[in-house]
Structure 1
Amino acid sequence: MKYSKLIAFLFLLSYQVQFAQFTDEINSNRPGRSMMAFSVGKKIIQAETGFTYVSENHNNLNYSAKGFIGELGVRYGVWKEELEAILEVQYQNDKFSSSYLNENRSGIKQLTLGAKYLVYDPFKNYEEKPNLYSWKANHSFKWRQLYPAVAVYAGANFSLGKNPFNYAPSNIEEPSFSPKVSVIAQNHFGSRWVLVTNITYDKITSDFKSLNYVLTLTRGFNAEWSGFIENQGYSGDYYSDGIVRAGAAYLIGKDMQVDASLGKNFKGTPEILTVGVGFSWRFSATYEEVKLEKDNGSKMDKKMKKKGEKEAKKRKDAVDLE
């Protein structure tokens, strides 16, 4: 599951006294490409791995490239619940074929190290109590669902030698270091739907800088299965494109998840098809529980609560008189 066992996660968030971002089940960024707003939890280490077949065909330049990408993401909760360090590595190996050249290519396609911090959590210190006198009130649209959890990410890309997969002219090389920043929003709609939005400015200060976005919609079907659909866009000097992905994930246990996905871009220069499988694993034995203090809410919350209690008492008194 993109954010595994979503129903249980939201159930835990419904309590006024919460235990921050650690959940009973693993919360993986896979199988999509977006990064969720919540961290893995303090002193939690989590590995997210994948193996993807990629087929690339360029209609104008008349070339093809077919091979595999190995992916590894390592997330670690440091210092406090809202903060995590993230290492992302992609290694690609393929065969490039054209009318004048045939060669095997291999190398580190991506090596990024960064940190993410949750700056706003709409569920924190919030309790939604059921209305015992109104079915309609319990099932009506909740405006709080429109409030996203918001996180910020800052990191750096590292280049280890020549990267043959960046679409740039052969005489232009990537710098050994370039910054990357992202803003992340995560919405929960009811108990089954999650929408994650990533806006990223990548490889800043280099000739390869690009402004990218990812929109991922995930649905939990039951406690083990979930599916997702995703749209990712790139806008840069050397490469601009749009990609759509879809896939599913299965929760093996509270600390393990497997996934599969299919991706296709929108254009033929080049035309790209990807098919991937993945596995996520969490080591939670070192987790340090951080209990959040109960917050009685704002003055407006208290006022509305008091008003609701008075109305409930009036209804009860009216029933008693009958």
Structure 2
Amino acid sequence: MKSIQALLVLLFGISSQISFGQFTDEINSNRPGKSMMAFAVGKTIIQTETGVTYVSEDHNLLDYQAKGFMGELAIRYGVWKEELEIIGEIQYQNDKLTSGSYEESRNGFKQLTLGAKYLIYDPFKNFEDKPNLYSWKANHSFKWRQFIPAFAMYAGANFKVGDNPFSYAPSDIIEPSFSPKVTAIAQNHFGGRWVLVTNLTYDKIGTDFATINYILTLTRGFNAQWSGFIENQGYMGDYYSDGVMRIGAAFLFDKHMQVDASIGKNLKDTPGLFNAGIGFSWRFADQYEEVKIAKPGTETKMDKKVKKKAEKEAKKRKDAVE
């Protein structure tokens, strides 16, 4: 637990710079991987990310199998500023546990969380990579700036609804109804096609179920519609530790809709885990108004409104005097 407490201090002790979020031309979905991207969806944007996953669990030592399906739903909403979003996530699983002649149907919420994510630093905001008209070498040289990641922080809470039959903890250890969760998020863009997302999470803080999790997701865009990813996730806790590898692909229907598919397998057989899922992400952006940052010395939209209002007030006073 001391190492977990040290990690929490580290996460909150990171010094940072304030920057601005980004509304992308195309949907910015966390699916089909399990990592959370640094960028928010944009102010007033509502985005849903859903999926259905086949899950299979096989324990060699305890001689049991469990097979079923899990439904996932994430709702993301951009509020207040471009950099901020509120995120609600639900996972509900229904399966059948079999051990010899014994069978048990299980169902319940595996995850119910609510939190907020804020983009703290974007290395490419207000940065323009201008071409060098006098040097071909300078234009084609390696760009060290791509190693500077966008950085965001997530803070939220887990809520327990009913019994959780999928826990690996002993039955006499009761999971609390509320527990905090924090995640540090880094996102690098390499060239125009590669994206690396890193998550470091301290989950269920202050409970017997506390874990340290990491996720590394590498995504490659193949063309304007297709992309693929490979992902490694690891988690360490008092009752269960493991590593999972995932691969998958996503297809962009249009700039607001995406479908995806993925498969995953863990590294151990106590238990061995396998899952395969499909998903759909949809963004409602009809109410979005682009937030533009004016260059120094230029009038912003707000400046023009204030100026126009001042001119109206001056005209009223002049008319009153006359």
Give the structure-2-normalised TM-score.
0.85
Cα deviation per residue 1:194-242 (whole Å; 9 max; x = unaligned)?
A: 0000000000011100000000000000000000000000100111000
How far apart are residue 178 of structure 1 and its match?
0.2
Q: Separation in 1 of the partners of 2:77 and 2:214? A: 24
Structure-1 residue corresponding to 2:315: none
Q: 1:105 to 1:295 in 2, by over 3 A?
A: farther
Structure 1 stretch 134-143 or stretch 101-110: which is displaced more?
134-143
- Per-residue deviation, 1:139: 1.4
Answer whether contact 1:257 1:280 (CA < 8 A) is retained: yes
Whether 1:174 aligns to 2:156 is no
Q: Alpha-carbon deviations, 1:63-121, whole Å to 9, x = none?
A: 00000000000000000000000000000000001136310000011000000001110
- 3-state secondary structure, aligned to 2:22: coil
Aligned equivalent of 2:210: 209
Q: Does 1:99 align with 2:118?
A: no
> Contact 1:156 / 1:177 at 8 angstroms: preserved in 2?
yes
Distance 2:253 2:287 in 1: 21
Contact residue 20 and residue 290 of structure 1 kept, 8 A:
no
Q: Is the 8 A contact 2:20 2:83 kept in 1?
A: no
Instruction: Tell me which moved more, 161-170 or 200-209.
Output: 161-170
Evaluate the alpha carbon distance shift between residue 33 and residue 276 of structure 1 in structure 2; reply closer, same or farther with a 3 A threshold: same
Contact 1:196 1:217 (C-alpha < 8 Å) held by counterparts:
yes
Counterpart CA distance in 2 for 1:209 and 1:221 is: 38
**Aligned pairs (5 A) from 1:62-77:** 62-77=63-78
State the distance in 2 between where 1:183 and 1:135 align: 38
Q: Does the residue aligned with 1:170 lie in a helix, a strand or coil? A: coil
Distance (whole Å) between structure 1 residues aligned to residue 101 and residue 158 of structure 2:
33
1:282-297 to structure 2, matched below 5 A, reads 282-294=283-295
SS at match of 1:218: strand
Q: For the residues of structure 1 that align with 2:75 and 2:86, how far apart are their CA atoms?
A: 8
SS at match of 1:180: strand
Output aligned runs, 1:111-190, within 5 Å. Answer: 111-190=112-191
CA shift digits 1:280-300 (9 cap, x unpaired): 00000111321123369xxxx
Letter in 2 for 1:139: H
Tell me if 1:231 matches 2:232. Answer: yes
Choose 285-294 or 47-56, whichever is displaced more: 285-294
3-state DSSP of counterpart to 2:185: strand
- List, as ranges, runs of 4+ consecutive aligned residues in structure 1 with deviation greater than 6 Å: none
Paired with 2:56 and 2:131, the residues of 1 have a C-alpha distance of 52
The SS at the match of 1:268 is: coil
Task: Give the superposition deviation at 1:19.
Answer: 8.9
User: What CA distance in whole angstroms lies between the structure 1 residues aligned with 2:20 and 2:85?
Assistant: 16
Correspondence 1:199 to 2:200: yes
Alignment coverage as a number of residue pairs: 279
Equivalent position of 2:51 in the other structure: 50
- Structure 1 alignment gaps of length 5 or more: 1-17, 297-322
SS state at 2:209 partner: coil
Q: Which residue of 2 aligns with 1:300?
A: none
Distance (Å, rounded) in 2 between the aligned partners of 1:295 and 1:207: 53
Q: 1:85 is matched with which residue?
A: 86
Given that 1:226 and 1:250 are in contact with CA atoms closer than 8 Å, whether structure 2 keeps it comes out as yes
Q: Which residue of 2 aligns with 1:250?
A: 251
Give the CA RMSD over aligned residues: 1.4
Between the two structures, name the one with larger relative contact order (CA 8 Å, sep ≥ 6): 1
- From the superposition, tell whether residues 252 and 19 of structure 1 become closer, same or farther in structure 2 (CA, over 3 Å): farther
Pairwise CA distance, 1:132: 1.8
Segment of structure 1 superposing worse, 281-290 or 260-269: 281-290
Please report how far the alpha carbon of residue 131 of structure 1 lies from its aligned counterpart in structure 2 after TM superposition: 1.3
Verify the 8 A CA contact 2:20 2:122 in the aligned structure 1: no
Distance 1:196 1:223 in 2: 20
